[in-house]
Structure 1
Amino acid sequence: MATGIGRKRDADIAKDDALPFDLDKIDLRKVPPYGPKSEQAPRSVTMTKEWQVLEEGRGLIVGLVVGPFTRSEHHTKVTDELVERTQRDLLDPKREDIVVCISGNMGGGKSATLNSLFENGSVAREGDSGSSCTLASNRFTKAQSEQKSPYLAEVFLFPVAERREILAGYLRDYFRASHGTGDEEDGSGQANTNPAIKDEVAGVLVALFKEYPQCRSKKEARHFLDGADSEDDLEILVKLFDWDEKLVKRTTGGGAKTITLTASTPGELIAQLDGFATEVVDEDDGCTGASMWPFVSLIEFRFHDPTTSLGITFLDTPGLSDHNQTRRRSANKYCKTKTHSIIVSDAARAKDDPMVANEAKLMSQRGPDRVVIVLPKSDIIGDATMPPGTRKDKQKAKELRNQCQAAVKAAEQCEERMAKCEEEGDEDQAMVLNKQKRKLDVWVKYTDNREKAHRIRMRSESSKETIREKLQDLTHTTRPTPVFAVSNKLYNQHLAGFSPKDTPVLSVDETAIPDLRRLISTFPNEARLNEARHHQITVIPSLLKRFALYTARTPLERKSDMEKYVLRPLVKYEEIIKGAIDPFAMALKERIVDPLRTEESSWIQSARALCERWEDANKTTPFLQLINRDGHRRGGKSGAVNMSGDLIALRSKKISGLFERAVQYHNSFEKSMLEELDDLAADMLTDLREDPNYGFVDLEPFLDYINTEKTRIPHAVRQSCQRILEGLENIQRKATLIDEDAYVVEAMAPVYKDVALLKAGKGPNKLPRPKCGWPQHRKNTFKQQVTRIDGIWAMVYTGVQSDVVALLQTEQAALNHSVGAVFKDFQSGFDMMCDTKVVSDPKEKALQEELKVNLKQAEQHLNGPMRKAFDALWKEFH
């Protein structure tokens, strides 16, 4: 529904759908700009008063337990370790990064959506048409604590080794585009070069090395690259590497790893980044200008904003399917860090694109509310368009149209009366009618907006429901995927303010931006709530018990007799971890790898049929062009082709099913490990209590410490198991999606390279012509390489097996470290309490006495106000 009549916004008038035709209610003054700060605060864990109680409580406890050590003159290795541990666990806690990755096609509205979410203007770069090609990954995060400028950007360049790989890749692309698409045998020669790739590579060199004569223009750059004798011509590469080194040294000032830019406004900052984030065009000659974008890995924007202040980082990367060396490398590098995903797509693509479905499916496996679908430009609708809807909806649309027509008629009649008054010279009445006409024009706009807004809402609801149903079938989640139909353009009009006659078609709320922002603001809730629970239940109690051990130091003459129980778990925990991981590894092998291995024959048959279809659809030159472009063609008369992608798609659905069923075994694996480790700690406690020395020494502080400290073990196990789940998701992605590190993509790379070399050539080294001719020989060889036993498909199941083994080995080592740290702390705590020497230093005695008093206060605060606040927080958000 449109924004209100005159200065009122539609929230004030929308309650009455049958608003009376009362011109007195129409205000002709300009509607002021909309302020996002007026919105209802998001339902965020960190914005509650309970969270503040927990934060302040942590600070209070730190002061209580560290204060006595700060004031005391008694310092030992033990006291220093206690203070350092407190500062590490409570003052500098590790918090999970919330990285929201926004993905979508170029020109789809990613930047516009980001800018709508921010309160600080257009921080994300937009082109003249409201879109901009993302040349490198952009990360938007909160301002640094010491940051003085409102806006700061850090430009990260690729390391030297990667820059050299990029340059070598560009030379290879250019050489293949120049020499790899023609065949002496069919007389095509150089006629079938790929000018688009050559132009792209030439543009890259001009952007980077315009100062050198060889690269002052694309023509000169092409001439320079045409001198290459091979795709890895050493002379040219050495020159490119030398230019690269000088360029980076000059730009960064020597040893700096980043370039830092600051500004007082977003526009000023974006202008400074032109030489790093855009393909610059010189105004004088229209040629490519100097820009370092081909070497830029990441641009990180830092500024103050309500969303980023919640700990949310937004990530905008180039498309993973982009074939540009820089953009593809940047996307692959940073996409893996995302915890949540916003998919910006038009309704048709979101409904039918398998990439959207796969992304939604993978992210939903990590937990609820991990993915959002955004449909931009939802405000565009034709005057005659009637979307699907109920009979009631369509009847209301008709009624609203009639109201609009009545308003138009009233305005026309008023204009006629005004013209008549002017003819008769009645200026006073003409002025009255003129004001009335201006109000009627506003009324016409309002009724027209109501009618359009109603039809837009009908279409949006229909589109959202269709997409939700489609994704529900694919993700099998209990909660539907959130879908938002947004209008960034109309939202910006509200931000700018407007005259009543230019009232936007949709209200602020109907643009869906406030709702989308509120949902995204809840993304950190799960992580922050778990962090609060870990601190309240485990970290702080464990820390206080360890301090209590220090105050309860008890000399024990036969310390070694009891210490053996504390040492026993240290030789057993690794065996328990291995005993849990080995069966899990075997289960994954039996449920994923073995079925993939038995699928080889069937996959080869499907791949052979696919190869034959490619042969029929692509004649000599198109087929060779495909091979030279790693099996990829964007479109054109022959249609889009992605050979590696099609090969992946042959069994992607089945592979996903195997992973889903195998992951179900994960819960029992986690449970069995936790039970055995818990039994190990429980046995230690039992042995200590049953030892004959137990009655002669007060071990209760140590036993209390053990009972509290052992809660760190489940936390460590769950964290590791979560990483295993995420690792398995990544392996599934490599087996089912078209990414640079996909198993099929990596396996096919040498096939494309080898087949591309099969051509007649020239000179003394000219190869003998095959009986079937070079074109058919290439197709035959390609099919043989793709469909051979122990070939492409073997790379899939061996890659899966290798990655699963590596993942579990890494997590086994991580568990050995984290769980081992707990049992080692048992030993160090026992040593600290059961010191064989009586405390005689008066300074240490005074320290212990003060600490005892403070520990009592700390425990009271932890179990009182902090516990109450945590329970309320858990009840509200869990």
Structure 2
Amino acid sequence: MHTTGEKIADLNTPDRMLAAGAPHRSCHQRALNFTGQISITFQKVFQRNQYTDCHVEALVQHVNGILDARPSNEVRFAFIGHMGCGKSSLINAILGIFDIARKDGSTGLSCTWMIQEFRRSLPNQTAPFRAEILFYDEIELEKLFATMVSELLRAIASDNNRDAEQQEDDEVEKVAKRGTAHIKTFRALFHHKPEFETDHTTKSFVSQAESDQGRDIVSMMVMWTGELIRQAKTEFQSTTQSELLQQMRNYTHGPVDCEDDEHVFWPLIKKATFGLTGCPVLEDGVILVDMPGSHDSNSIQALTSRRALRECNYYVPTAAIIRALSDDTLNDCLEEGFRRKKVFVVLTKIDDIDTSLSGKQAELTARLADLREQRLCAKREGRTQEKAAIVEQEEELEEELRLVRADESPSTAIMERNSKVANNMIDDYKRRTGDQRPLDVFPVCSKMSEQYQRGLAARLDLTDEQTGISAVLDHLIKTTLEGRFNDVNYLYQDQLPLVLNRIELWCDKRHFARKDVLERTVEGPAARYTDHIETFLNEAHKRVQKLLDSMKSNEHAWTKRATKLCDTWESKYTTPQYASLAKSYGVKKKIKLITETNCNKDLAQILQRSITADIDHLIGFADKHKVHMFALLKEPLARMEADLRNHEELALLLPQSLLRQFGLHKKALAVPLDKCFAVLREDLRNIGRDLTTTTGDSIIVHCMRPVYVEVMNIKGRGSGTLRPEKMRERVDRLWSDVRDQAKKRYAKAFKKCSRDLLDIAENILKDIQDSFDGFCQEKKFEEPGEIELRRELTLALIKARNIHDGPFREIVEDYSLNMVPDRVKKEEH
């Protein structure tokens, strides 16, 4: 058991951070340096020599591509969660720079609607802290205001008339909340306009809109906004973070009441980028992206967030531990992250736990108090022997109380809850996604850590390790190093050898008028690529049809079970409740008289029990066929090389550089093929999950949506009876629609994979054709510049190969050895 009040060290010190990744960082930087040396060696040759033609221009592009292909120094982590879930405090603790991720001092909630990005120094940065602001453009502002005006008009109309059915609709409350929020936003932004002087005048002004979109009012707002933006700054710098944030006070979530000569800009800002110096985790290439609160943004801001998420390498869903298992945003992010990105979870506020005395502690404390009173009484009356006996009893009770406190200490309770919630989340993630890789979950108490380091808390119940911040930091570093290693390895083994061979082949260029013979020789093997891919696609369609046939054979039983479900829904809910359920597309949270239900989930479970094994078999087919396709795609290359080496006319005339390219292409084939089948596997898993769950792009939800719309269109007398009848009728025809959707999605996934395979083959064939074009001289006499360029490139090639086969190889070997002790998994590139 850790000692209560043990000091928490600064988690982001340069010594600690630099030591954590020093060997990897050194290897990575040296690898970049050697790559740059190889590229610059060739670039200098091309700059000195003025000769050029189409083949030389292609070589220049390949050389410039070496620098473009160098592994990125940056890995982006998107922190996603509800407003107030603790993202900002977490980022502050990771950075070790308090308050740089803004929080509202009164509520602790995030102060921005915008995306905040924290990275190492920005270009032109001349102070330790710099921020750059990006505003929405005019088109985005028009859409933003149109959405806000439309939602405010809905809220005003909803306040004026609500029928009985609306009273039970939880959407009405959401509309009202959004309307109130928009009034505050408009008043903050246009506080200097009389139309927005009060809430009442704001409502009156917006109510004058000529349509539900309020285009006339929106145009006026966009014009006013343009005037504001022209007055705004977009760059800020300071020597301290507090001064920087003071400069930006009106650019973040500022107050509604402003001085007459002040303006606020936060509703207009898309993103704020912070450049920070002296922060080792950022210097290591980590970029922390603080996304807006998931329930605190409108559709335009949500679209901006989705675009920003696509640029990130990792999703980091964040939630308070007390609501983690039921947090809809966290669960959605886990599924989305599983589909598209890498993902790990941070659970915040782990120190938010009941620390009141347990019953046992309270009892022992009361008994101790009684004994102390008895001891004092015995002392006053001179009863020495009785006093000594009481002292012994006190000592026994104090020892018992100490042991109980140790067992029931806040730190013990915190760690037990951490373990329980994390394990439940890992199990839930496996159930939701089918991913057998364990989910990384990090419980943290960043706020406690921050307050102690600030000197605002005298003692803590958790140690450095138990706060969880160090574990998150280590994970950020580890994943950054992991990606870098994979990139460096791919660059060394595959990309650079191909570029060097292209240059060597051009240097071997000669007057060779037999290009047509070369092309005819490889023509036959090249045609086999299309045949192999077509065979794979036909086999895939057979496997999909087997799954569809299995679904069709079960449809009769599924229809019976679905009919029983419809009867259950009809008997379970009253007429208004049934209508409210259909209106919300079959899903209602627990509100008022309606218990939580999910009609779609009931239907999806019917499928889940029957076809899970068939879905797994289809995924297994893709896994097995990847190895088979690798052999099939290498076969034409091996055939081409063998045919050229054994050709009676050409064998003695062809240089090794032309023949060597076939082996290099076979070796480099593994990475794009792995990526292609990794995408296919994820697509198949997603389709399987969409078939058997109601999350993501669920097929059940997609097919049931028009059913609910048709049911809701039944109005008037008798609708309470007709709606359930229509529901039963349409659900009876559901399964054929589900099967059709599954067929389309599986066909699309395999067609996409076959296109990707064809692109791989076409790129290889194009590269081979380019090599023939570059090798075969079309003119009898070479220009002096061409001869000189070839001579200089040959010398540069010798230097480049010496670097690649000498120090670069040593660096990659050292890099590999440094990765093994840390057990860093080498993922597919």
The alignment status of 1:874 with 2:816, answered yes or no, reads yes
Distance (Å, rounded) in 2 between the aligned partners of 1:179 and 1:596: 50
**Tell me, what secondary structure is at the counterpart of 1:75?**
coil
2:314 to 340, 349, 360: 340
Determine helix, strand or coil for the equivalent of 2:518. Answer: helix
2:87 equivalent to 1:110: yes
1:561 Cα deviation from its structure 2 partner: 1.9
Residue in structure 2 matching 1:830, options 772, 786, 792: 772
Letter in 2 for 1:787: V
Are 1:859 and 2:817 counterparts? no
Could you list the per-position Cα deviations for residues 172-217 of structure 1 after superposition, in whole angstroms to 9, with x for gaps in the alignment?
954984699627xxxx899999763453343355356555877765
TM score, norm. by length of structure 2: 0.77
1:239 pairs, out of 216, 241, 244, with: 216
Please tell me whether residue 727 in structure 1 is matched to residue 683 in structure 2. Answer: yes
CA–CA separation in structure 1 for the residues paired with 2:728 and 2:157: 23
CA–CA distance in 2 between the matches of 1:216 and 1:745? 45
Matched with 2:733 is 789
Equivalent positions of 1:41-440 (< 5 A) are: 41=18, 44=21, 47-93=24-70, 95=72, 98-127=75-104, 128-132=106-110, 135=113, 138-147=116-125, 150-156=130-136, 159=140, 163=144, 166=147, 170=151, 174=155, 177=158, 182=163, 196-203=173-180, 205-206=182-183, 218-219=199-200, 234=211, 236-239=213-216, 241-243=218-220, 245-246=222-223, 249-250=226-227, 260=234, 262-264=236-238, 278=253, 281-282=256-257, 293=267, 303=276, 305-317=279-291, 325=299, 329=303, 339-347=313-321, 349-350=323-324, 370-378=343-351, 380-385=353-358
Q: Look up the match of 1:680.
A: 636
Residues 65, 851 of structure 1: 8 Å contact kept: yes
CA distance in 1, matches of 2:640, 2:100: 58
C-alpha separation between the residues in 1 aligned to 2:51 and 2:152? Answer: 67
SS of corresponding position for 2:806: helix
Residues 103-143 of structure 1, C-alpha deviation per residue, up to 9 Å, x if partnerless?
44443323322222223333434343433487565555555
1:663 equivalent in alignment to 2:619: yes
Could you say what secondary structure the match of 1:150 adopts? strand
Distance in 2 between the 1:352 and 1:596 partners?
32
For the structure 1 residues 283 and 738, does the alpha-carbon distance in structure 2 shift closer, same or farther, using more than 3 Å as the test? Answer: farther
Q: Matched residue of 1:73: which SS?
A: coil
Structure 2 residue corresponding to 1:637, chosen from 582, 588, 592: 592
* Separation (CA, whole Å) in 2 of partners of 1:70 and 1:193: 68
Structure 2 CA distance, aligned partners of 1:235 and 1:362? 33
CA distance in 2: counterparts of 1:521 and 1:351, whole angstroms: 27
Aligned residue number for residue 465 of structure 2:
509
- Establish whether residue 487 from structure 1 lines up as the match of residue 429 from structure 2: no
Q: CA deviation at 1:516?
A: 1.5
- Give unmatched runs, 5+ long, in structure 1: 12-31, 388-396, 414-444, 760-768
C-alpha contact (below 8 Å) 2:142/2:218 kept by paired residues: no
- Partners of 2:690 and 2:236 in 1: how far apart? 39
Shifted more, 449-458 versus 842-851: the winner is 449-458
CA distance in 2, matches of 1:171, 1:786: 36
Aligned to 1:50, the other structure's residue is in SS state helix
Partners of 2:171 and 2:435 in 1: CA distance = 46
Deviation at 1:386, TM superposition (A): 10
- TM-aligned CA distance change 1:521 to 1:729, over 3 Å: farther
Identify if the C-alpha distance between structure 1 residues 103 and 160 changes in structure 2 by more than 3 Å, giving closer, same or farther.
closer
Distance 2:650 2:161 in 1: 83
Cα distance in 2 for partners of 1:381, 1:326 equals 40
Letter of the aligned partner of 2:41 in structure 1?
A: L
List runs of 5+ in structure 2 lacking aligned partners: 377-401, 820-825
Q: 1:467 — aligned with what?
A: 424
SS of 2:463's partner is coil
Q: In 1, distance between residues paired with 2:167 and 2:686?
A: 42
Contact 1:734–1:741 (8 Å) recurs in 2: yes
Distance 1:67 1:49 in 2: 27
- Name the CA distance, whole Å, in 2 between partners of 1:814 and 1:168: 45
Q: Distance in 1 between matches of 2:290 and 2:695?
A: 17
Is the contact between residue 202 and residue 222 of structure 1 (CA under 8 Å) also seen in structure 2?
no
Aligned length: 774
d(CA) in 1 for partners of 2:86, 2:97: 18
Structure 1 residue 564: Cα displacement: 1.8
Offset from partner CA, 1:747-804 (integer Å, 9 cap, x none): 5555555555544xxxxxxxxx43x2x44445554x24762414xx555444443344
Q: 2:80–2:318: 8 Å Cα contact kept in structure 1?
A: yes
TM-score, normalized by length of structure 1? 0.74
1:845 aligns with 2:787: yes
- Give the deviation of 1:54 after TM superposition: 1.3
Distance 2:762 2:305 in 1: 37
Shift of 1:487: 1.5
Structure 2 counterpart of 1:29? none
What is the one-letter code of the residue matched to 2:219?
D
C-alpha distance in 2 between matches for 1:273 and 1:796: 53
Q: Secondary structure at the match of 2:649?
A: helix
Deviates most, 530-539 or 356-365: 356-365
**Partners of 2:612 and 2:156 in 1: CA distance:** 38
Give 1:483-562 correspondences, 5 Å limit: 483-497=441-455, 502-562=458-518
Closer, same or farther: CA 473–821 of 1 in aligned 2, 3 Å: closer
2:412 to 442, 455, 458: 455
Q: Deviations over 1:600-629 (max 9, x none)?
A: 555555555555555555544455455555
Q: Decide whether aligned partners of structure 1 residues 451 and 511 sit closer, same or farther in structure 2, where only a CA change above 3 A counts.
A: same
Does the 8 Å CA contact 2:75/2:312 hold for their aligned counterparts? yes
Alpha-carbon contact 2:543-2:618 (below 8 Å) kept: yes
Q: Secondary structure at the match of 1:102?
A: strand
Alpha-carbon displacement from aligned partner over 1:520-550 (angstroms, at most 9, x marks no partner): 2212344322211211111111111111111
The answer to whether the Cα contact below 8 Å between 1:45 and 1:529 also exists between their aligned partners in 2 is: no
Change (3 A) 1:235 1:48: closer
Note closer, same or farther for the CA distance 1:508–1:207 as it changes in structure 2 (3 Å cut): same
Question: Residue type of the partner of 2:441?
Answer: V
The amino acid across from 2:465 in the alignment is D
**Distance change (3 Å), C-alpha of 1:757 and 1:820:** same
Deviation at 1:689, TM superposition (A): 1.3
Q: Give the equivalent residue in structure 2 for 1:703.
A: 659
Q: Give the distance between the partners of 2:166 and 2:27, measured in 1 at CA.
A: 75
Kept in 2, the 8 Å contact 1:45–1:528? The answer is no
Distance between the aligned counterparts of 2:435 and 2:329, measured in 1? Answer: 18
Q: Which amino acid aligns with 1:577?
A: I
2:45, 2:789 within 8 Å by CA — same for their partners in 1? yes
2:660 match: secondary structure? helix
- Whichever residue aligns with residue 130 of structure 1, its letter is G
Letter in 2 for 1:87: N
Contact 2:112/2:266, CA 8 A, preserved across alignment? no
Find the aligned partners of 1:867 and 1:585 in 2 and give their Cα distance.
44
Whole-angstrom CA distance in 2 between matches of 1:692 and 1:119: 71
- Aligned CA RMSD, in angstroms, stands at 4.9
SS in 2 for 1:524: helix
SS in 1 for 2:785: helix
Q: Quick one: distance in 1 between partners of 2:612 and 2:540? A: 18
